[in-house]
Amino acid sequence: MIKARVVVMLKADVMDPQGVAVGQALESLGHGHVKKVRVGRAFDLELDTNDPAQAEADVRKMCESLLANMVIEKFEVTVEQPSAAGVA
């Protein structure tokens, strides 16, 4: 079993109104030192494989077909190496 995490964010040149709203809320709560906020989302996946390269390739396909809007978003994939049998 391999675990993967996908972080999806808007591309840098795409306006992030949710990030702006969060930034304004933080400022109103006294956190004026926060200059910019970008909001994204994360997916934690468990894959039934022990091949990290195949897992990463599969997760990238998932991102391109469903998890990310490739026109306006970018994504990062992190794959954990499988743990030894019997070790959590």
Residue 87 lies in a domain: no
- Domain count for the chain: 1
pLDDT in tens, 4-63: 999 999 999 999 999 999 999 999 999 999 999 999 999 999 999 999 999 999 999 999
| DSSP-H helix ranges across 29-85 | 52-62
* Nearest Cα residue to 18 out of 43, 38, 41: 38
Domain limits for position 71 = 2-79
The answer on pLDDT for 85 being more than 80 is no
In a domain, 37, yes or no: yes
> What's 24's domain CATH number?
3.30.1280.10
pTM to 2 decimal places: 0.85
